[in-house]
Structure 1
Amino acid sequence: MRFSVFTASTPEWTPEEAARILAAQGWEGIEWRVTDQQPADPPGFWAGNRATWPLEGLEGSLDEIARITREAGLEFSGIGGYARADDHENVDRMLAATAALGARQVRVTMPQTRLGDYRELFAATRADLEWAAERAASLGVKALVELHHTTITPSASAAFRLVDGLDPRHVGVIHDLGNLVIEGHEDHLAAFQLLGPYLAHVHVKNVRWVPTGEPGFDGSVSWHDEWAPLRTGQADVEAYFAALAAFGYDGWVTAEDFSTDLPLEERTRDNLEYLWAVESRTRERAGEERR
């Protein structure tokens, strides 16, 4: 497997700093966040993120994106786009930018379930993806659907139903370990087997559940999710890697750690060391089982 970082999780760094620091730590790839955002000081993951390229004027930034990535010795694991499936104009721009950069694949976001009747949203999005698949094919790239809580594709089963029958060379699924802690968890190996050739990319982050505060009038306890370090969240990262290995996945694994327990540079360094260790342990166990 090859490891990269999604720059949504590196808000304090400029693109040059993100590429330089990540490369020095040993990461092989980078997944640039591309979206228009609100300003914020200090910078945050979702607003004021310094490692984000604006969608507005993106075409004029492509040479700079390519230069920064290339000079750091990094590769593109993909592009972290935010254009929603029904926004054909901007999906087309993101697909074209991905092709121009040689980045191979780009996320196309799915509608939130709160936006309407699920079945109507699903049917409309299927039509949008059919259109995106044709455009992706003409450009030689792939549009990615992420498993994400509160969207119409929180699980592998939902995503498979959405993409089934489309060309897996040009439409794929991002399996996301952390998001599935919040909504959509299914047995990992079964999910990979269900997705089959549509499993195109993997994101790893982690989540913990914590009590919201005072118990309810009847003594009940409410819980909410919050981002956690890879090592300490609810998700079993080692079991996840074992399932990926059993399925035969050997592609990009992109870290997107939104926890703040550690300072950013220490966080990214520790995540890579941990992922290396987990992958090594997974390979050792696979070898022991074969013996």
Structure 2
Amino acid sequence: MKFAVFTDSTPDWTPAEAAKILASQGWHGVEWRITDPVASAQPTFWAGNRATWPLTGLESRLDEIRAVTLEAGLELPALGAYVTPRHREDAERMLSAAAVLGAGQVRFLGVNVEKGQSYREAFAAYRGDWEWLADCARRYGVRALLELHHESLTPSASAARRLVEGLDPRYVGVLHDIGNTVIEGWEEPAHALDLLGEYLAHVHVKNVAFHLAAVENDGTLRWAPKWVPLREGRAHLPEFFKALAAVGYAGWVTVEDFSTAQPLAERTAANLEYLSGLAHAAGYDLG
């Protein structure tokens, strides 16, 4: 098992700063956020994120991405795309970039039901998108990752397995994100991982708790999710790592910590220490 950080969670750092700091802390890899920037007066996770490579002109930046990564001694477990399989030109560009960089995998965004569609209609159309994506990934020799994500057609392992069933797991895999499933799609992690089977290709970890957001006039309580430090949320990560070990998962675990209780550098260092301890306790040999 190896550990990486997805740079959507390191908005304060430039790519060079992120690579240098993460390497110095002992992380094995970095998962780059790739999307055209959204302006913001201050860096935030999703706007003004400085640790982002732009999608526009990506091909001209691949040598720089490789150099920043490798010179820090880091590996590339995957690329974090912000396109869906329906954006076919950009989806193919991301697969091509992964092949050139040796990343091997690309995380794609999910989609939801569009206006006028039923869920079943949307799901059937999305399956067609993934059939195309599987064939495209095969041609580039890399794997496309379907992420378990709230507010998408595939928030759960069950839905994801149904979508990819029959596609070649060498070129299509599922990214299990336990933090996302806290919000929507929660299934007992041991069962979810077992169900994914050969399609379990990548893992993200973050954590979520629910807080009281409002009290309606009739006294009904409304609860809303909030990103919290890894130790504090609904997902019990010690049990999750034991479940990963039970199914024989030996791949990458990438952190997306959107909590802000600690300064960024302290947060990433503490997360690596915590996750390394969980992996050891679950029986992993981290060398």
State the TM-score, normalized to the length of structure 1: 0.95
Name the CA distance, whole Å, in 2 between partners of 1:120 and 1:85: 16
Name the CA distance, whole Å, in 1 between partners of 2:144 and 2:87: 13
Residues 239-264 of structure 1 deviation map (CA, whole Å, 9 limit, x = unaligned):
10011011110100000001111110
Partner of 2:163: 162
1:70 to partner: Cα distance: 0.3
1:202 aligns with 2:203: yes
1:47 aligns with 2:74: no
1:97 to partner: Cα distance: 0.5
1:188 to partner: Cα distance: 1.1
Runs of 4+ in 1 over 6 A off after TM superposition: none
Contact kept, 8 Å, 1:205 with 1:258, in 2: the verdict is yes
Matched residue type, 1:197: E
Name the CA distance, whole Å, in 1 between partners of 2:87 and 2:205: 27
Contact kept, 8 Å, 1:104 with 1:142, in 2: the verdict is yes
1:114 to partner: Cα distance: 5.0
Secondary structure of 1:178's counterpart equals helix
Contact kept, 8 Å, 1:5 with 1:31, in 2: the verdict is yes
Contact kept, 8 Å, 1:142 with 1:169, in 2: the verdict is yes
Contact kept, 8 Å, 2:229 with 2:261, in 1: the verdict is yes
Partner of 2:87: 87
Q: How many residues align?
A: 283
Partner of 2:28: 28
Which region of structure 1 is more displaced relative to structure 2, 251-260 or 33-42? Answer: 33-42
Name the CA distance, whole Å, in 1 between partners of 2:18 and 2:26: 12
Name the CA distance, whole Å, in 2 between partners of 1:101 and 1:283: 31
1:128 to partner: Cα distance: 1.0
Matched residue type, 1:181: V
Matched residue type, 1:211: L
1:149 to partner: Cα distance: 0.1
Residues 161-214 of structure 1 deviation map (CA, whole Å, 9 limit, x = unaligned):
00000000000000001001000011111111111110000000000100003x
Secondary structure of 2:282's counterpart equals helix
Aligned ranges 1:86-235 → 2 under 5 Å? 86-115=86-115, 116-213=117-214, 215-235=215-235
Secondary structure of 1:90's counterpart equals helix
1:37 to partner: Cα distance: 2.5
1:277 to partner: Cα distance: 1.1
Residues 99-121 of structure 1 deviation map (CA, whole Å, 9 limit, x = unaligned):
01000000121212355421121
Matched residue type, 2:22: L
Matched residue type, 1:264: L
Name the CA distance, whole Å, in 2 between partners of 1:102 and 1:177: 26
1:220 to partner: Cα distance: 2.2
Residues 4-61 of structure 1 deviation map (CA, whole Å, 9 limit, x = unaligned):
0000000000000000000000000110000112111211100110001010000011
Residues 221-275 of structure 1 deviation map (CA, whole Å, 9 limit, x = unaligned):
1100010000111210101001101111010000000111111000000100100
Name the CA distance, whole Å, in 1 between partners of 2:147 and 2:130: 13
Matched residue type, 2:127: R
Partner of 1:287: none
Name the CA distance, whole Å, in 2 between partners of 1:193 and 1:178: 18
1:57 aligns with 2:57: yes
Name the CA distance, whole Å, in 1 between partners of 2:118 and 2:99: 34
What percentage of residue pairs aligned between the two structures are identical?
57
Partner of 1:242: 242
Contact kept, 8 Å, 1:8 with 1:256, in 2: the verdict is yes
Contact kept, 8 Å, 1:85 with 1:111, in 2: the verdict is no
Partner of 1:272: 272
Aligned ranges 1:248-287 → 2 under 5 Å? 248-283=248-283
Contact kept, 8 Å, 1:208 with 1:227, in 2: the verdict is yes
1:68 to partner: Cα distance: 0.4
Structure 2 CA distance for partners of 1:41 and 1:32, relative to 1, 3 Å: same
Name the CA distance, whole Å, in 2 between partners of 1:11 and 1:80: 14
Name the CA distance, whole Å, in 2 between partners of 1:11 and 1:211: 28
State the TM-score, normalized to the length of structure 2: 0.96
